[in-house]
Structure 1
């Protein structure tokens, strides 16, 4: 399918279009431990109803790393069928083989996806030149826009010199600055091209980010998880758009209890382990508690133990999330 942008204007297109919340939801899985396609479609309908600006699918939270190539492609076909034309769709590429990455990106481009978040190769390649050559080869062989994922999960956090080199590639339009340092986010905004998006994947700092040149919360799922308190995000964003920053902050602070639970359940575990695997079962329990489809885990990952699930559901009820 034809893209909305060309290689020469990809950055300007992304700067204009990518705003708000581009969320990474989990994948509903049935009792047979296969993707629940009906549940996946129902979730996408729900995400669109919530007003989410974009979906970024197929990554760590989605268990994309634990799917066979056939399952991965079928998953994306279902997402495309359910969401294409209704909400912007991005995939996530986790493959260390650049040829596999290209094959997947070209496949989802034909399905109507508009871009790909791509992690740096986690196997073998570690030097700046090796990583740059990997991304250069990738972008030379697909026209799909790319969002980098700067994170320790990738085996190495991309340095500032390498980020400057990568940001100069024409179809490299953004970075998910997931290395955990707010200082890094602000420095990259100063040093990288003005039309290259630097996205902080944290709703907790989004209000401050809006005042500091940010425009998108990329690659997390807090807005979904806030459930019945989701309206507070919409309200503080509306106040911020009117320049009513203090009123917006008062509204935002009403989410602090849920944010602390999110940190306890997800964020600190990801930072401590440099993996997402130990958190997905909790997110699926959270999804079910707020009326979305979560289901089982794909083996060999385990479901959340019943006692822990009960504790989490109780905390969500106490906070008024569900």
Structure 2
């Protein structure tokens, strides 16, 4: 661990910056995690200049595997990264002792934090949810990012978030409501050392000027393929105060950004799940040279025709 419990918020303010991506998981034809493919992808993520990986959640298909497979996946990621990127897990378990057990396990592997969803079943009142998080954080030293999302069944309110923010190890929240106004409002209402994390690349240029410090918990930068350099370009140009040039770089992603939003973000918004978008993302990964393979059943894998359709669109966009 790079910090003590009391230091967690300041550590996150200094460390959790830039591009924190949620990668897809490569899967073998017999629906096991492809460890060699996972290691190969991680080398490419390092070359891309990604600042942190947030693994173990919906996009990585870790909700749909056995506990031993979940553990092995996190071991392989940690071994492959070898300290070259900040590592976070994602905790989706409503059973509190399982959540704690997983967090203790990844802490031994060198992970610094966990994005944690509030229980998707049973617990709905503010007091119940607070008590659940208090139980977890009392038993783990990991930094915790709240996963504020409709997928959980209850979107955390401001009063509850302010209570949770007073816990030493809770350092921020992924604002997954797909509502920009809410992101800005939360920044006004939360304590200044609590990071409100925007997960939409569409807003990331604007984020450079209004207090945002991290593009958290999505994968657009990876998917942009041959155009991903434009993200780093507009980040650099904005930091240099060259705002018009930064906007030109941002506009260079317009076509692929729209395709990403239509095929991924709006599918999530319509279904309140990630499962329906995974097939397209697997095809996208393969088209840009990353290992992907099939989707783990019972979620359907895309047809070969769909793989070819996605690849053709990405070639047209200059991405693949």
1:245 and 2:240 are equivalent in the alignment: no
Runs of 4+ deviating beyond 6 Å: none
Shift of the alpha carbon at 1:308?
A: 2.3
Matched residue, 1:181: 179
1:289 to 270, 287, 290: 287
- Kept in 2, the 8 Å contact 1:84–1:112? The answer is no
Written as runs of structure 1 = structure 2, the 5 A alignment for 1:76-87 is 76-87=74-85
The 1-side partners of 2:56 and 2:178 are apart by 22
TM-score (norm 2): 0.99
Matched residue, 1:26: 24
Matched residue, 2:298: 300
- Kept in 2, the 8 Å contact 1:21–1:52? The answer is yes
The 1-side partners of 2:262 and 2:152 are apart by 23
* Structure 2 residues not aligned, in runs of 5+: none
C-alpha distance after superposition, 1:55-78 (max 9, x if no partner): 000100000100100100000000
- Equivalent pairs, count: 320
The 2-side partners of 1:27 and 1:250 are apart by 33
1:116 and 2:114 are equivalent in the alignment: yes
Shift of the alpha carbon at 1:208?
A: 0.3
The CA RMSD measured in Å over matched residues stands at 0.7
Matched residue, 1:10: 8
* Structure 1 residues not aligned, in runs of 5+: none
Matched residue, 2:103: 105
2:141 to 135, 140, 143: 143
Query: What SS does structure 2 have at the residue aligned with 1:258?
Result: helix
- Kept in 1, the 8 Å contact 2:208–2:239? The answer is no
C-alpha distance after superposition, 1:216-253 (max 9, x if no partner): 00000000000000111111111011011111011101
Query: What SS does structure 2 have at the residue aligned with 1:270?
Result: helix
The 2-side partners of 1:65 and 1:256 are apart by 32
- Kept in 1, the 8 Å contact 2:52–2:85? The answer is yes
The 1-side partners of 2:216 and 2:119 are apart by 20
